[in-house]
Structure 1
Amino acid sequence: MSQPLPKRNEPFRAGETALLVVDMQRVWLEPGADPGHPERGPEHYFYRQTSSQTIPNQERLLAAARANGVEVIHTIIQSLTEDGRDRSLDHKLTPIHIAPSLPEGLPVPSLAPVGDEIMLPKTSSGIFNSTNVDYVLKNLGVRYLVVVGIMTDQCVDMTVRDGADRGYLVTCVSDACAAATQERHDIALKAFGGYCWVTDTDTVVARFKALGKAA
């Protein structure tokens, strides 16, 4: 007899759950640091949204994950070479290039890796396309993948869809993600919502804490 299929929102399991933080780098999150958008000042929607909601919610999620045995993985956009010759064609055409020596290419301090948390550099929108994250997650025994980060309609979108296609039960924490505008954020969530469980920070923090109590 075949086993019943899981539900996208079924409870996380201890030892099988990971929090994936996507592209929370200084270059994108500090006003004036993004060479692609010099016109965005501190009052731009994106900076106000990330500083007031996205980053604080991710800080809460990271604290809950670390305290309750949830694996934490970070990914950043970063070339392997100083001149970016290893970048994807898309990143060359855009152009996007974050050299490995650029301090602003690292995560904002409050979201930086702690201890031996894994951080994977990528040169594509989707982490599954230009890193060995699938191999790493499977080695870690992860089945439940919780995704947060920027941009909701770009790198987060591809991470969710690709993760679902590879057999992970994906959760997207909507208020711990952000896009350049509220409209783009909302449209993206509606578009990829069929690939994941879309929920909020309070719900996921509670689930992480439940894992610790069950251990």
Structure 2
Amino acid sequence: MSKPDRREAHYTAGETAVLFVDMQKMFCAPGRDPAHPEMNAEHYYFRRLRDLVIPNQVRILEAARTHGVQVLHTIIEALTEDCRDASLDHKLSNLLVPKGHLLAPPIDELAPIRNEIVLPKTSSGVFNSTNIDYVLRNLGIRYLIVAGVVTDQCVDMAVRDAADRGYLVSVPGDACATYTQERHDNALKAYGGYCWVTDTDTVITRIKAIGKAAA
């Protein structure tokens, strides 16, 4: 199998997956996140989610499901009801979501369908506290499209860790969000060397090309 010579190489059938990071009810609906009680619906973060990020992610999700691209969701959720298995950092940050919490699942717009993979994590890095690398390799994935929240924390960790493990990572910047525009822009610049920073329209065009090639 030939090796791609650039991060923005075209996706290939059977080797491409989308990973949605922390797009769960607790962190994507105003007034739900106990760590940010001051953020209301008109805060920059929630306006960006509502007006840009969630609509773009829905488009990516629909394209992926239509054209045979694997879809994975990761959410912050402990394996225990008392969160005793959570990372020390999450305990110190009070970033605790008990097993089975009503706000743990992905938002309704991105709700997993039957047979879609959901990986609960207890750290910022999905590659550190789940078996995602094992799963992706079993699926034969080479190209990983990462979208979610927040751009400069859990998305950042997913991108860098995936790149270090040999995946070709794409990040549609308009399908990610953090708490300020400055933080978002700086994050994409900071880890742009680990991935292809692009946009939703381009990602969808590339996904649709997989379907055409397989037809």
TM-score range for the pair, normalised by the shorter chain length: over 0.9
Matching of residues 115-154 of structure 1 within 5 Å: 115-154=114-153
Residue deviations 1:136-156 (CA, integer Å, cap 9, x gap): 000000000000000000000
2: CA distance, partners of 1:144 / 1:5: 10
Matching of residues 58-77 of structure 1 within 5 Å: 58-77=57-76
**What TM-score, normalized by structure 2, do the two folds share?**
0.97
Matching of residues 80-159 of structure 1 within 5 Å: 80-159=79-158
Question: Relative to structure 1, is the Cα distance of residues 4 and 86 closer, same or farther in structure 2, using a 3 angstrom cutoff?
Answer: closer
Residue aligning to 1:162:
161
Q: CA RMSD in A?
A: 0.9
Secondary structure of the 1:104 match is coil
The answer for unaligned runs of 5 or more in structure 1 is none
Q: Letter of the aligned partner of 1:16 in structure 2? A: E
1: CA distance, partners of 2:28 / 2:21: 12
1: CA distance, partners of 2:37 / 2:72: 30
2: CA distance, partners of 1:4 / 1:81: 41
Deviates more, 1:128-137 or 1:33-42: 33-42
Identity of aligned residues (%): 61
2: CA distance, partners of 1:30 / 1:4: 41
**What TM-score, normalized by structure 1, do the two folds share?**
0.97
Question: Relative to structure 1, is the Cα distance of residues 80 and 183 closer, same or farther in structure 2, using a 3 angstrom cutoff?
Answer: same
Residue aligning to 1:210:
209
Residue aligning to 1:43:
42
Matching of residues 50-61 of structure 1 within 5 Å: 50-61=49-60
Q: Is the 8 A contact 2:76 2:97 kept in 1?
A: yes
Q: Is the 8 A contact 2:83 2:99 kept in 1?
A: no
How far 1:101 sits from its partner (Å)?
2.0
How far 1:5 sits from its partner (Å)?
5.5
Matching of residues 27-38 of structure 1 within 5 Å: 27-38=26-37
2: CA distance, partners of 1:209 / 1:58: 15
1: CA distance, partners of 2:41 / 2:67: 35
Residue deviations 1:44-76 (CA, integer Å, cap 9, x gap): 000000010000000000000000000000000
1: CA distance, partners of 2:114 / 2:82: 29
Runs of 4+ in 1 over 6 A off after TM superposition: none
2: CA distance, partners of 1:30 / 1:17: 29
2: CA distance, partners of 1:25 / 1:4: 35
1: CA distance, partners of 2:5 / 2:69: 20
Q: Is the 8 A contact 2:172 2:200 kept in 1?
A: yes
2: CA distance, partners of 1:90 / 1:32: 23
The answer for unaligned runs of 5 or more in structure 2 is none
Residue aligning to 2:180:
181
How many residues matched? Answer: 213
Residue aligning to 1:200:
199
Q: Letter of the aligned partner of 2:55 in structure 1? A: P
Question: Relative to structure 1, is the Cα distance of residues 176 and 141 closer, same or farther in structure 2, using a 3 angstrom cutoff?
Answer: same
